[in-house]
Amino acid sequence: MIDKYKQAFQEEARELLVELESALLELDQKRDDREVVGRAFRALHTIKGSGAMFGFDDVAGFAHNLETAFDRLRNGQIAATADLINLTLAAGDQIKTMLDEAAGRGNVDHLRSASILAELQELTGLSDTRPDAAHLSPAAPGAPGVAAHDWDIHFRPGPAVLLNGINPLLLLRELRELGRLQIDLDTSAIPPLGSIDAEHCYLAWNMVLTTTVEPEAIRDVFIFVEDDCELSIERAPDQAASAPDAPLAMVVAVNPPALTAAKPKLRDAAGPVSQGAASSIRVSTEKLDQLVNLVGELVTVQARLSEVAGRRDDVDILDISEAVDRLTAALRENSMSIRMLPLKTTFERFRRLVHDLSADLHKEVDFTIEGADTELDKTVIDRLNDPLVHLIRNSMDHGIETPEARRTAGKPPIATIHLSARHAGANVLIRVSDDGRGLDVEAVRARAIEQGLIDPATRLSEAEIFSLILAPGFSTAREVTDVSGRGVGMDVVRRSIEALRGSIDIASKPGEGLTVTLRLPLTLAIIDGLLVRVGEAHFILPLANSLECVELTRQDILDAHGKHIANVRGEIIPYIRLSEYFQMGPSRPEREQIMVVETEHGHYGFVVDQVLGDHQTVIKNLGRLYRNVQVVSGATILGNGSVALILDPHRLVQNVVQSGSQNKRSDGRNARHNNSVDRHESARSNLSVPKGQE
Amino acid sequence: MAKVILTVDDSASVRQMVKFTLADAGYKVIEAVDGRDALSKLTNPVNLVITDLNMPNLDGIGLIRQVRANPACKGIPIIMLTTESQETRKLEGKAAGATGWIVKPFATQQLLAVVKRVLG
């Protein structure tokens, strides 16, 4: 193996000598060009460094003297004279003969080497600084002592240790390899939560190491940090070694599993199902569904327990209730993760589909997959297959042109279809995009008018027009396909996705391709929600998209001059007042709260009377009557037995933005809550807010 | 997943040695010929950087400074390769935020020991 390196060094050194030579010749022309001196220096430096590493000690030693000379030249301590340049050229030739000798060709004239060095000394006034062999060869590890001793080690790394890329844990691990190690963690320097800088290290360790190695070897472990840390390594008094039981009460013995336990546990929770056959068992889906149902019931009961405990104001019961709360949350997360599967198998299946279709249709397609490790509830994955097949078929069939057509259009003849998945809050986004001919906005619009889907006078945004191809009436019109390149059975896709409480977005540029984005909830059973109160009613907002809660005072409202916008730390956030949206009467408390939520339309606020806190939310489906209520994604049962509706912030914002844009284009993104919104939504809102709920 | 190590050196033979040694130990090694090249390769996830100090375009110290100033990768360990004559450069490198150093010439075991120390 080392021969392979030697060969590589031989080749490289010869290249460097050529570089050195050209630099020297250039230097001869421009005597004070620092850049050129630097080039020569680097060449010599590398020859020296690599030479020593691969056992070319004579080359390294020789180059070292030249390097020293050029270092002085570089720093302006000596001048580049013609003599020095000529001598260095000769030295370069000498190095070449050394390399030749090592490769088995010819012999080195050692007298000549000596004379060159002597001449160099004369020119630069330097003595032979050739480093001794001990320096050049790797240091030998110190011989271990015989008897084991106890060492008291105190180690407090400097605050910036993490910023410099040191992981103190690894140092402790290395220490443990030297002998038996007892570690006591000193957390006394951790400041209050408010002033913690997450990038600083506040920890210190007091350790007792029982080892046979020399103290230098212990110190060596800390070599990279010793300059900026508190470190003391002292021989422990002997009685400590003879009676180790006494301090043990204070000291935590650390075993390898204890240090590493935390991370694997997290991993296990994330994907036990996907871990391969060896460590998994097959369980019928029914049993899993049952488990999740039971956990759902448990969560509901737990909510009642919390409620009752809160009312009783009994410390003991509160304590139990909190413990149950934590356990339920963990149990919930665990049982949900069991149902999670990576999208890989589903995605990979489409490779075959694309392959077969491209042969049938005589189109060349490069199919790429991204984010196949993204996990999604098994039920969702199962029901995702058909819509995806549909979308990919559509892309292949209508979107992508024949290779000839692509060439004429100036595109690469091989088309691409990209299938990707990624997490976004409590949702997973699945994208199918192609670089085919895309959708023609005007053609879609004309067709929609023709079919009576929209009024010719309505002004719609591009996204709104594209969403028309999802409408049922638009589906089977074959001739549209020829114009628009799309439109077969998209309403089927839409229905399947909406059944999963997902949504579809379409983006396209004519001639450049089309992207369909499916937004799906991570799970259909239980989510983390935030319980809020508006008037007498309670609502749940999904926690995953929520950013923060801030207060909205009368003054804030006055400052905005009637517009529904709030200034949250300098950011202008449009908001929707839920009591107005749902027409819940005029009463308005002195202080309201805004929940800031991340949506596709940027940050949006939802104004509520009060934010009550987290709520593990078991999603119950609404009855058939309410199926068309878009802004509500389900309902849940609260601890006191009443019902709270789960709001879909994404849809809420979309509705407001859309009705806002239809009625008041000039207002843009502004979520002005004008009456038209109410009118537009009134049919739905009356349904979605059962006033008699309480 | 194999940890990714970026070796930055203008000497191909040093890069090759680092690469072979670490690849044998199960790491994934990518190479860069100087600091500027290294910065362009740091756009992908890298677990450790091993860099020479003397390089054209952008030298090792400059590379360390730029990595530490970049929020996307500022916490990654950086090991510099120094020579015994470069004590001041070593201090400069430490001040710039280098995690550790290896003195050239070094044996493969030393390299592995240092990599293990900072990478686990």
Residue of chain B whose Cα is closest to the Cα of A53? B105
- If 0-12 CB within 10 Å is exposed, 13-18 middle and 19+ buried, where does residue A217 land? middle
Domain ranges, residue B46: 4-119
Distances in Å between the Cα of A673 and the Cα atoms of A564, A653, A664 are: 7, 11, 11
User: Which of A235 and A482 is assigned the larger pLDDT?
Assistant: A235
Does the structure show a pLDDT above 80 at B70? yes
Contact B99 A165 (CB under 8 A): yes
Does the structure show a pLDDT above 50 at A566? yes
Contact A8 B116 (CB under 8 A): no
CA distance A546 to chain B (A): 24
Task: Kindly state which CATH superfamily the domain A2-136 is placed in.
Answer: HPT domain (1.20.120.160)
- Give the torsion through C-alpha atoms of A91, A94, A99, A105, to 10 deg: 170
User: Which of A31 and A301 is assigned the larger pLDDT?
Assistant: A301
- B78 pLDDT tier (thresholds 50, 70, 90): very high
User: Which of A110 and A327 is assigned the larger pLDDT?
Assistant: A327
DSSP A17-66: HHHHHHHHHHHHHSTT-HHHHHHHHHHHHHHHHHHHHTT-HHHHHHHHHH
Does the structure show a pLDDT above 60 at A417? yes
Interatomic CA distance for residues A604 and A572, integer angstroms: 9
Distances in Å between the Cα of A16 and the Cα atoms of A23, A109, A657, B89 are: 10, 22, 66, 23
Mean of pLDDT values over A401-427:
86
Does the structure show a pLDDT above 80 at A692? no
Contact partners, residue B32, CB within 8 Å, separation at least 6: B6, B7, B8, B38, B40, B41
- Neighboring chain A residues of B6 at a CB cutoff of 8 Å: none
CA distance A393 to chain B (A): 33
Residue of chain B whose Cα is closest to the Cα of A200? B75
Q: What is the structure's pLDDT at B29?
A: 92
**Best mean pLDDT range from A85-89, A125-129, A501-505, A636-640:** A85-89
Query: Which of B8, B11, B42, B52 is the best residue to mutate to test the A interface, defined by the most A CB atoms within 10 Å of its own CB?
Result: B11
Q: What is the structure's pLDDT at A286?
A: 83
Query: Which of B16, B34, B47, B117 is the best residue to mutate to test the A interface, defined by the most A CB atoms within 10 Å of its own CB?
Result: B117
CA distance A174 to chain B (A): 7
Across chain A, mean pLDDT equals 76
Contact A41 B54 (CB under 8 A): yes
- Neighboring chain B residues of A169 at a CB cutoff of 8 Å: 120
Contact A45 B83 (CB under 8 A): yes
Closest C-alpha to A149, from A249, A217, A220, A231: A217
Q: What is the structure's pLDDT at B31?
A: 92
Contact A166 B77 (CB under 8 A): yes
Q: What is the structure's pLDDT at A642?
A: 85
Report pLDDT digits (tens) over B94-110.
888 888 888 887 878 88
- Identify the CATH number of the domain defined by range A342-521: 3.30.565.10
Q: What is the structure's pLDDT at B7?
A: 93
- Give the torsion through C-alpha atoms of A410, A413, A419, A420, to 10 deg: -50
Contact B20 A5 (CB under 8 A): yes
Mean of pLDDT values over A577-597:
82
Mean of pLDDT values over A422-433:
84
Contact B105 A138 (CB under 8 A): yes
- A271 pLDDT tier (thresholds 50, 70, 90): very low
Report the CATH number at residue B13: 3.40.50.2300
Q: What is the structure's pLDDT at A693?
A: 39
Asked if the peptide bond before residue A247 counts as cis, ω within 30 degrees of 0, the response is: no
Cβ atoms of residues A183 and A194 within 8 Å: no
Contact A49 B105 (CB under 8 A): yes
Contact B83 A49 (CB under 8 A): yes
Report pLDDT digits (tens) over A464-512.
787 777 776 664 444 444 434 444 467 778 888 877 878 888 888 888 8
Size of interface A-B (CB pairs under 8 A): 106
Interatomic CA distance for residues A240 and B83, integer angstroms: 43
Residue of chain A whose Cα is closest to the Cα of B95? A164
Contact B100 A223 (CB under 8 A): yes
**ipTM score of the complex?**
0.82
- Neighboring chain B residues of A223 at a CB cutoff of 8 Å: 100
- A127 pLDDT tier (thresholds 50, 70, 90): low
Per-position b or e across A542-571, b if 16+ CB within 10 A of its CB: bbbbbeebbebeeebbeebeebbbbebeee
Report pLDDT digits (tens) over A35-85.
888 888 888 888 887 787 777 888 888 888 888 888 888 877 888 888 888
Mean of pLDDT values over B18-38:
90
User: Which of A132 and A461 is assigned the larger pLDDT?
Assistant: A461
Distances in Å between the Cα of A409 and the Cα atoms of A157, A406, A510, A618 are: 63, 5, 12, 52
Which residues of B touch chain A, with CB atoms under 8 Å apart?
A: 10-14, 16-17, 20, 54-56, 68, 74-78, 81, 83-85, 94, 97-101, 104-107, 109-110, 116-120
**Best mean pLDDT range from A209-213, A689-693, B32-36:** B32-36
Contact B99 A224 (CB under 8 A): yes
Interatomic CA distance for residues A191 and A194, integer angstroms: 8
- B32 pLDDT tier (thresholds 50, 70, 90): very high
Does the structure show a pLDDT above 60 at B77? yes
Q: What is the structure's pLDDT at A143?
A: 42
> Which parts of A546-643 fold into alpha helices (H)?
554-559, 578-581
Interatomic CA distance for residues B31 and B78, integer angstroms: 14
Closest C-alpha to A23, from A50, A46, A53: A46
| Domains of chain A by residue range | 2-136, 149-259, 285-339, 342-521, 526-693
User: Which of A688 and A151 is assigned the larger pLDDT?
Assistant: A151
- Neighboring chain B residues of A35 at a CB cutoff of 8 Å: none
Does the structure show a pLDDT above 70 at A688? no
Residue in A46, A68, A136 closest to B11 by CB: A46
Interatomic CA distance for residues A653 and A657, integer angstroms: 6
Contact A164 B120 (CB under 8 A): no
- Neighboring chain A residues of B10 at a CB cutoff of 8 Å: 42, 46
- Give pTM, 2 decimals: 0.41
Contact B14 A49 (CB under 8 A): yes
User: Which of A479 and A418 is assigned the larger pLDDT?
Assistant: A418
Contact A131 B76 (CB under 8 A): no
Contact A53 B75 (CB under 8 A): no
Percent of chain A scored above 90 by pLDDT? 2
Contact A42 B55 (CB under 8 A): yes
Does the structure show a pLDDT above 90 at A263? no
User: Under CATH, what is the fold of the domain A149-259?
Assistant: Alpha-Beta Plaits (3.30.70)
Contact partners, residue A468, CB within 8 Å, separation at least 6: A444, A445, A448, A453, A454, A460, A474
Contact A138 B110 (CB under 8 A): yes
State the total domains in chain B. Answer: 1
- Neighboring chain B residues of A38 at a CB cutoff of 8 Å: 56
CA distance A223 to chain B (A): 8
Cβ atoms of residues A599 and A653 within 8 Å: yes
Contact B106 A138 (CB under 8 A): yes
Mean of pLDDT values over A562-569:
81
Q: What is the CA radius of gyration of chain A?
A: 37
- Identify the CATH number of the domain defined by range A526-693: 2.30.30.40
Q: What is the structure's pLDDT at A672?
A: 39
CA distance B44 to chain A (A): 16
- Neighboring chain A residues of B100 at a CB cutoff of 8 Å: 166, 223-224
Query: Which of A39, A45, A222 is the best residue to mutate to test the B interface, defined by the most B CB atoms within 10 Å of its own CB?
Result: A45
Contact B78 A165 (CB under 8 A): yes
Report pLDDT digits (tens) over A305-351.
888 888 887 888 889 988 998 998 888 888 888 878 888 888 888 88
Q: Which of the 8 DSSP states describes residue A197?
A: -
Residue in A54, A137, A167 closest to B120 by CB: A167
Does the structure show a pLDDT above 60 at A679? no
